[in-house]
């Protein structure tokens, strides 16, 4: 039964990704205007534009062009950039690797910070620790990411000179240097994600801790840490999984502002640059990758919710 539900979710995820790929292709390829004229310039000759359209298969029917693009995307071949004449993979994959490194580092910080602060706030509900954590959380919710990043740069890069002002990961040669140059943007991202999750997980934990089965476990003499970690937390974390999935998607595709603040060469800055340059193959590849990560993150959240909550399996 569990395997069947997982396969059903996976099938729905694939259908969603296919639908998204159609939307991405239409919005970037089937728009008013001539791509050849945009790339070659208005002063280009009609002969040059015809050669350009033939080379990029722009003279073929829309359905054929989409199927060719989708088939190439499945193989990891997104074509060539309109600006640099390099393959899309050569342009996108290094940036994607940089973003995944930053996202992984930020997620490693985000998970324990969220769990520890949420548990402390729930255990000490309406007491000093809860008040302090809730106040800091409210401040974090009210502060945009670029302000958090700017403050961290001023404190730790300009004043204390502990970390670099610019996170130039392309110059890092080993793991230590990667950690050194990505710490400030990773902390910024983890703060931006944690403030949303802490509040939700805290409220869920308070509700679960007040439930009858948790009180019964306490009355039976089980250690408090065991009650919280093994009885309350698995049930409280299920509603927060969707927020975690959104945070995962945000880490991959929504870090444009943070990357701009720290001059980080990732997918976000690449997407902005490609939009300004109207480089359609790059835009399509980045949009499809980000969409795929978002769909996979939601699939992971659904599967984890089914695994952690027996009631969902029964229903």
Residue range 278-290: mean pLDDT, rounded: 86
Which two tokens mark 201?
Answer: 């997980």
Strand-pairing partners, residue 87, are 80
Which contiguous run of DSSP H or E holds residue 27? Answer: helix 2-29
Where in the chain are the domains? 16-74, 90-314
Residue range 201-206: mean pLDDT, rounded: 84
Distance CA 170, CA 103 (A): 16
- pLDDT tier at 30 (50, 70, 90 boundaries)? low
Which two tokens mark 274?
Answer: 């490609």
Q: Which residues contact 99 (CB under 8 A, 6 or more apart)?
A: 251, 252, 255, 266, 267, 268
What values do phi and psi take at 127, rounded to 5?
-120, -175
| pLDDT higher than threshold 90 for residue 153 | yes
What values do phi and psi take at 87, rounded to 5?
-70, 150
121 dihedral zone (left: phi>0; alpha: psi -120 to 50; beta): alpha
Q: Does 162 or 309 have the greater pLDDT score?
A: 162
Q: Which residues contact 53 (CB under 8 A, 6 or more apart)?
A: 35, 36, 59
Pick the CATH number of 90-314 from 3.30.413.10, 1.10.3720.10, 1.20.58.100, 3.60.21.10: 1.10.3720.10
pTM of full prediction above 0.95 = no
Q: Chain-centre distance of CA 270, in angstroms?
A: 15
* pLDDT attached to residue 40: 64
Q: Does 36 or 208 have the greater pLDDT score?
A: 208
Which contiguous run of DSSP H or E holds residue 296? Answer: helix 280-308
**CA quadruple 227, 210, 306, 100: dihedral sign:** negative
Contact between 23 and 309 under an 8 Å Cβ cutoff? The reply is: no
DSSP result, 34-94? -HHHHHH-TTS-HHHHHHHHHHTTTTS-HHHHHHHHHHHHHTT---B-TTT-SBHHHHHHH
Which contiguous run of DSSP H or E holds residue 272? Answer: helix 267-277
Which two tokens mark 83?
Answer: 């600006």
Closest to 92 measured CA to CA, from 304, 294, 230, 279: 279
DSSP result, 59-70? TS-HHHHHHHHH
Q: Is 143 exposed, middle or buried (0-12, 13-18, 19+ CB in 10 A)?
A: middle
Residue with token string 């015809």: 50
| pLDDT higher than threshold 90 for residue 43 | no
73-102: pLDDT as tens digits: 888 888 888 777 788 888 888 998 898 899
234-252: pLDDT as tens digits: 777 777 777 777 777 777 7
| pLDDT higher than threshold 90 for residue 179 | yes
């Amino acid at each position: 039964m569990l395997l069947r539900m997982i396969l059903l979710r996976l099938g729905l995820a694939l259908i969603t990704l296919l639908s998204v790929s159609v939307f991405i292709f239409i919005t970037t390829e089937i728009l008013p205007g001539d791509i050849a004229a945009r790339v070659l310039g208005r002063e280009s000759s009609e002969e040059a534009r015809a050669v350009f359209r033939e080379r990029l298969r722009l003279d073929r029917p829309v359905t054929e062009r989409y199927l060719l693009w989708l088939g190439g995307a499945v193989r990891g071949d997104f074509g060539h950039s309109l600006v640099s004449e390099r393959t899309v993979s050569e342009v996108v994959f290094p940036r994607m690797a940089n973003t995944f490194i930053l996202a992984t580092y930020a997620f490693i910080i985000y998970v324990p910070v969220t769990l520890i602060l949420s548990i402390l706030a729930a255990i000490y509900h309406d007491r000093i620790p809860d008040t302090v954590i809730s106040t800091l959380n409210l401040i974090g919710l009210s502060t945009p990411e670029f302000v958090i990043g700017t403050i961290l740069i001023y404190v730790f890069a300009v004043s204390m000179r502990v970390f670099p002002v610019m996170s130039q990961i392309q110059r890092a040669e080993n793991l230590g240097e990667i950690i050194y140059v990505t710490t400030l943007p990773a902390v910024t991202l983890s703060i931006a994600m944690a403030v949303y999750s802490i509040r939700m997980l805290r409220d869920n934990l308070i509700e679960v801790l007040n439930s009858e089965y948790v009180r019964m476990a306490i009355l039976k003499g089980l250690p408090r840490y065991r009650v919280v970690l093994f009885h309350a937390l698995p049930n409280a974390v299920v509603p927060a999984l969707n927020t975690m999935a959104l945070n995962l998607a945000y880490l991959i595709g929504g870090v444009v502002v943070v990357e701009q603040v720290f001059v980080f060469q990732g997918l976000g800055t690449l997407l902005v640059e490609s939009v300004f340059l109207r480089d359609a193959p790059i835009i399509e590849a980045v949009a499809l990758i980000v969409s795929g990560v978002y769909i996979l993150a939601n699939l992971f959240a659904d599967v984890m919710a089914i695994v952690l909550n027996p009631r969902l399996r029964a229903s």
